[in-house]
């Protein structure tokens, strides 16, 4: 227990007496200036939580808290648990569960390479189609493999166009509530059925921009892209400065273009700056990288060939294809790293599978139906995207904890639980967004929960086991705060740690 923080939470500037409603009836805790660790430990659970929620950092904010027993669903504590609040990335709890329920934990995405032409000798006469079906895990290496397989089939030249087919989903690239300030970055990358990730974090539709000190101290910093591509244009406005000066590098793509502007000072002994920049129109990006893979295998386009978007004709011949990892594996980077793009892809994929339309509207309807199936009231919630980036999505904390209770009985719950970040576990693909939080027992390795963060919003919902073995479910939704995000996370951590430390009476 973080005693110092707890002491600060309950310092009373003027009055030394405050009432609390305990689980065992009306009780009053009296403190001269502070409550001792012993007094806090001897308080019942509701008293402890009320003390923590008296934090002055929450003044003016709305904090919805709902805690229940995982075995019975009995409500143990609620503060504004029925108030609709923004969940931020706690929305991903619904998206992941709906995907498991709708698609199945072994569901895989696919990508195909097809042609409407025929091979004559070493020349493919006809167009070559790269057809995406939503896979957010495609890497440059996968396109390399496609190229190798085409070469193995004897194709050395293509007399036709290279066409990217993203018609599996609609052509709406950004969810309706996404802020312009998020759009240039990986947190707001565009969604396409044909896309590419730069590495195994699988931030689809992005390119990694790395800025490092240059050998010439009077020149500009060095810029490298991964994967290497000319689909984006780098505008390098950096300046090398002497050792010891402050690094001021910024990396941002201009809205509506693929021009990435890099500005600021880079000391000669400075550390590298690295950023994931989203691309404008990821279909063209994927096509650009695929063509590079073909060229690396000496497969050339001849005649008046072009790169463009289009729809694969019916009856086209399948030349090669790839399936993604199964859904239960994809949920690990999605949930543990809080990958926004995966949330939106899964939403559109559910719409495509259930209704034949890969759109946000159809996908969100599927998520709402699953939410209602597992204890949520559709009249009480408002869902606007699959990632939680929207400031218009609203869910009460009690509905989230009830949902977490109900899904425990599903056959896919183990896959869902495994995908949640685990407090204090340093491995990124284990601890995820909780790897640097609650790093001491009994919370470490015990609290498994989804984090969430937006401007003025901080959330944490999941599972924890108490000191004497009571399995608990909790949801904490903090909205409209003006303090630091770290102070909000500290309050969430104190609540989760208190649950882990608490001993229930027999």
Q: Which residue has the tokens 């308080």?
A: 43
**Spatial CB neighbours of 56, under 8 Å, sequence gap ≥ 6:** none
Strand 395-396 versus strand 84-85 pairing type: antiparallel
> Is 455 one of the catalytic residues?
no
> What SS3 state is found at 205?
coil
CB distance 116 to 127 below 8 Å:
yes
Residues 475, 397: contact at Cβ < 8 Å? yes
Alpha-carbon span 45 to 474, nearest angstrom: 13
Tell me the C-alpha distance between 276 and 205, whole Å: 10
CB 68 within 8 A of CB 75: yes
Cα-based angle 431, 45, 468 (whole degrees, multiple of 5)? 60
Give the closest residue to 257 by CA, choosing from 232, 282, 227, 286. Answer: 232
The single residue of 338, 390, 401, 466 carrying the catalytic annotation is 338
Please, which residues have CB within 8 angstroms of residue 8's CB and are 6 or more apart in sequence? none
Contact in structure between 485 and 451 (CB atoms under 8 Å) = no
- Distance between alpha carbon 280 and the CA centroid of its chain, in Å? 20
89 part of the active site:
yes
Instruction: Say how far apart CA 67 and CA 70 lie, in whole Å.
Output: 9
Q: Do 190 and 174 touch, CB atoms closer than 8 A?
A: yes
Q: Which of 43, 48, 92, 133 is catalytic?
A: 92
Token pair of 248, please? 């001021």
From 43, 66, 89, 419, active-site residue: 89
Classify residue 498 as exposed, middle or buried by CB count within 10 Å of its CB (0-12, 13-18, 19+).
buried
- Tell me 185's DSSP state: B
338 is catalytic: yes
Do the strands 123-125 and 118-120 form a parallel or antiparallel pair, or are they unpaired?
Answer: antiparallel
Q: Which residues are catalytic?
A: 89, 92, 338
């Amino acid at each position: 227990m973080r005693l110092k923080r707890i002491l600060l939470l309950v310092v009373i500037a003027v009055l030394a007496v405050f009432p609390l409603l305990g689980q065992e009836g009306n009780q009053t805790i009296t403190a001269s200036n502070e409550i001792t660790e012993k007094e806090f430990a001897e308080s019942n659970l509701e008293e402890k939580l009320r003390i923590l929620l008296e934090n002055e950092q929450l003044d003016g904010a709305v904090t919805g808290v709902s805690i229940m027993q995982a075995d019975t669903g009995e409500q143990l504590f609620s503060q504004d648990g029925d108030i609709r609040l923004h969940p931020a990335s706690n929305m991903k709890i619904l998206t992941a569960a709906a995907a498991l329920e709708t698609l199945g934990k072994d569901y895989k995405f696919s990508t195909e390479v097809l042609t409407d032409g025929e091979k004559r000798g070493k020349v493919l006469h006809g167009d070559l189609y790269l057809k995406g079906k939503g896979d957010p895990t495609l890497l440059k290496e996968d396109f390399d493999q496609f190229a190798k397989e085409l070469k193995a089939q004897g194709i050395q030249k293509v007399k036709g166009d290279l066409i990217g087919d993203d018609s599996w989903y609609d052509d709406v690239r950004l969810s309706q509530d996404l802020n312009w300030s998020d759009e240039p970055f990986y947190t707001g990358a565009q969604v396409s059925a044909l896309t590419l990730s730069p590495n195994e974090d699988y931030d689809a539709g992005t390119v990694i921009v790395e800025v490092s000190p240059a050998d010439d101290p009077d020149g500009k910093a060095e810029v490298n892209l991964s994967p290497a591509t000319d689909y984006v244009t780098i505008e390098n406005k950096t300046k090398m400065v002497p050792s010891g000066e402050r690094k001021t590098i910024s990396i941002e793509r201009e809205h509506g273009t693929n021009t990435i502007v890099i500005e600021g000072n880079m000391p000669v002994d400075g550390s590298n700056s690295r950023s994931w920049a989203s691309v404008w129109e990821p279909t063209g990006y994927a096509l650009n990288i695929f063509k590079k893979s073909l060229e690396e295998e000496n497969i050339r386009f001849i005649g008046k060939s072009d790169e463009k978007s289009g729809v694969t004709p019916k009856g086209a011949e399948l030349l090669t294809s790839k399936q993604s990892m199964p859904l239960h594996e994809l949920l690990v980077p999605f949930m543990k790293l809080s990958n926004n793009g995966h949330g939106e892809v899964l939403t559109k994929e559910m719409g495509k599978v259930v209704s034949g339309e890969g759109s946000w509207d159809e996908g969100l309807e599927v998520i709402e139906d699953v939410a209602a199936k597992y204890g949520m009231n559709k009249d009480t919630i408002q869902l606007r995207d699959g990632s939680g980036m929207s400031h218009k999505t609203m869910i009460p904390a009690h509905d989230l904890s009830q949902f977490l209770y109900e899904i425990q009985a599903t056959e896919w719950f183990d896959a869902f639980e495994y995908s949640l970040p685990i407090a204090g576990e340093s491995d990124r693909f284990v601890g995820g967004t909780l790897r640097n939080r609650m790093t001491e027992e009994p919370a470490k390795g015990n609290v498994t929960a989804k984090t969430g963060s937006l401007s003025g919003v901080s959330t944490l919902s999941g599972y924890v086991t108490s000191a004497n073995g009571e399995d608990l479910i909790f949801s904490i939704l903090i909205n409209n705060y003006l303090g630091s995000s770290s102070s909000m996370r500290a309050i969430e951590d104190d609540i989760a740690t208190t649950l882990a430390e608490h001993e229930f009476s027999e």
